[in-house]
Structure 1
């Protein structure tokens, strides 16, 4: 049987082709090249890496390499170094430059804020191409595992267990040493020295935890100090970071991200402020899940005049009545009289005293009718009768509950919006962990490149193409009027930039000045 035959490896070609001919015109690597070339990286905050002897690498080349790597599921600096030697697309992109893995890794480590600004720039591009609607956004978070094992994460209880175990072992070995001799005694002395060394280490960690007053239950991670032991889902826990993101509904483009080591309870207000600044409007609706249901955050949303739809969590067991009919949410509040009416028609009043918790103040409402109520055993088990608490944020919580009830179909869009980027990043690309360590700022650079790669992939798939050099030449020769068919947004719709206003808008993103657009904002 005859087979197709390959070319002779020693055969010389009469007609050679240049490197540019080996990369198709519709390849995403050309899009990356055009995107980075349109940015003034010095104004974005990138600085050339110091080098000895020969000139440093251009930050643009290293940024191109990282964007290409993240868009193709490669984050390791050593893997990217290999691609510089064997991958034709990377060779074309870097013009045959071959930086070593240390140079590549240092670039990511030392430019977290500049990478954040490049992400903002991708959002500006999407806005100027009308790819962001700005009317409906959804926010959520995902956990990204840190480079720190559970074994090397400590809290006060864990340290106390370790110290108690070591002290018991030291007592045990000391008693055994009194009766031992020869090799056995030497082995016991070695064990005692080892336990004393560990005791010293854990005592130092205990002192650091006691000195940490930033939270009620401080933690210490030895490999990645800023990472925290958190619940991932159900009873599964990991030492990880929390990536907060905001997604626009029109094309599922990420408009914002922030890497934290906290849970979702206090995150919504911060993300809404950032979204308002990015979109330059507050005329949008924000969708969040029940993890963001916090009174103070609803107050922040009200102050920002932003409409939110946040899922209502179930009532905790401790707050439930013996019969669901008599749960606190079934008591009707009258704002004029500042009273509650229970399902049996009794009025609950307050003595106007305000009680304080760590996060909010509240008032208590009760009635003397509880003593002789025939259904008291269905309403409460408390000896002094039913007590209803109303926090200072109750009006905002009730307003959200009303909006959710009136917009059930709209809220159902939330999961489809927020899970699309996570499905791409974590399931498709395998980015379910942070590859860097030591600081949250360095981890944020990794997260920034993930989200930047996702946005650029979306823009490329939507058909965005731009050539800044050609546009500038057209401006000089054509005086900024009637420039047709610069960009195709998708296979279904073509945007023709034909009028001066839209042309100037296009040029605005092409020559974006980071000093005016980004200074003091969301860094």
Structure 2
């Protein structure tokens, strides 16, 4: 054992730093989150409960919940339950929230009730990056990525899916009806309970067929031929793997190649990127305050867009 790196005795007493601030280095990203959010006017951005109520149980400051949400975004912790655990054990989060640990329901409700305000805060961050000249201004990289929705694949319906499932249900009904015919011919040799179970399955299949007929009518009237029951705006999309696919969203992103900052983004439900290059180029032009876009790559590919910055170097809101 003497040749291995040895740990310290858990029962040994140590003189640890007396404050949480000693654990967070001066260049830690959480300090950027702290400064950025503290300078925002959350009421003007539309955050709910930005002014504390005069009566009742005190609520969490929206600034605290926004800091926790942005920390999760930067560290790939999207789950409200995981953010709740991080607030109880992560020193960086303890420093950021003042050792407050909101429960997961509070975090989820904040995210649900302040979606538009969070987008406005993101726009303020883009404006800040532009004012600090963190965008190179010469080129941006554009690409799309598929994000899975909560909607299960079995709760997404297309013309082909409905037709295939109707065919499967009809085949199952025919199989059970044939089993009932055999039971009638065999007479008393077949237990009555088994015949009853087969009848119940046929009734369930008929209800499923009626539901599929209803879905067929909805799919035919849908603009893009799809219906999602859990997330109405989610769509079935093919992924890079052969024979694979997800029900989700297509997120288009424009990134500054020098500092790797997101210049602009847009969430769409089209399963391809063929028509997104020019619209995202326009968004990148507005975000970076460039005068024009040059060197556009034609559809159907994402790629690089060259931007011409303002001649006078000014930045317009």
Report the TM-score, using the length of structure 2 for normalisation: 0.81
- The answer as to whether partners of 1:37 and 1:60 remain within 8 angstroms in 2 is yes
| Counterpart for residue 93 of structure 1 | 96
Structure 1 counterpart SS, 2:57:
coil
Q: CA deviation at 1:5?
A: 4.4
Query: Does 2:262 match 1:259?
Result: no
Q: CA deviation at 1:159?
A: 0.8
Query: Does 2:224 match 1:221?
Result: no
| Counterpart for residue 199 of structure 2 | 189
From 231, 237, 241, give the equivalent of 2:245: 237
Q: Which has the larger radius of gyration?
A: 1
From 274, 277, 286, give the equivalent of 2:286: 277
- The answer as to whether partners of 1:136 and 1:284 remain within 8 angstroms in 2 is no
Q: How does 1:313-324 map to 2 (within 5 A)?
A: none
How far, CA to CA, are the matches of 1:286 and 1:26 in structure 2?
38
Query: Does 2:166 match 1:156?
Result: no
Q: Structure 1 unaligned runs (5+)?
A: 293-309, 311-410, 418-501, 509-515, 518-523
Q: CA RMSD in A?
A: 3.2
Structure 1 counterpart SS, 2:99:
coil
Query: Does 2:56 match 1:48?
Result: no
Structure 2 counterpart SS, 1:233:
coil
How far, CA to CA, are the matches of 1:5 and 1:161 in structure 2?
63
Q: 1:234 to 1:91 in 2, by over 3 A?
A: closer
How far, CA to CA, are the matches of 1:44 and 1:202 in structure 2?
44
| Counterpart for residue 129 of structure 1 | 132
- The answer as to whether partners of 1:146 and 1:239 remain within 8 angstroms in 2 is yes
How far, CA to CA, are the matches of 2:295 and 2:64 in structure 1?
38
From 146, 150, 157, give the equivalent of 1:147: 150
Query: Does 2:256 match 1:248?
Result: yes
Q: Structure 2 unaligned runs (5+)?
A: 184-189, 307-312
| Counterpart for residue 421 of structure 1 | none
Q: 1:78 to 1:291 in 2, by over 3 A?
A: same
Q: CA deviation at 1:55?
A: 1.9
| Counterpart for residue 40 of structure 2 | 39
Per-residue CA shift, 1:335-362, capped at 9, x if unaligned?
A: xxxxxxxxxxxxxxxxxxxxxxxxxxxx
- The answer as to whether partners of 1:81 and 1:99 remain within 8 angstroms in 2 is yes
- The answer as to whether partners of 1:134 and 1:284 remain within 8 angstroms in 2 is no
Structure 1 counterpart SS, 2:167:
helix
Structure 1 counterpart SS, 2:239:
strand
- The answer as to whether partners of 1:142 and 1:242 remain within 8 angstroms in 2 is yes
Q: CA deviation at 1:22?
A: 3.3
Q: 1:201 to 1:238 in 2, by over 3 A?
A: same
Q: CA deviation at 1:210?
A: 2.2
| Counterpart for residue 116 of structure 2 | 113
Q: CA deviation at 1:103?
A: 0.8
- The answer as to whether partners of 1:137 and 1:286 remain within 8 angstroms in 2 is no
Structure 1 counterpart SS, 2:40:
coil
Structure 2 counterpart SS, 1:25:
coil
How far, CA to CA, are the matches of 1:27 and 1:164 in structure 2?
59
Per-residue CA shift, 1:413-463, capped at 9, x if unaligned?
A: x39x9xxxxxxxxxxxxxxxxxxxxxxxxxxxxxxxxxxxxxxxxxxxxxx
- The answer as to whether partners of 2:30 and 2:92 remain within 8 angstroms in 1 is yes
Q: CA deviation at 1:276?
A: 3.1
Q: CA deviation at 1:54?
A: 1.2
Structure 1 counterpart SS, 2:259:
coil
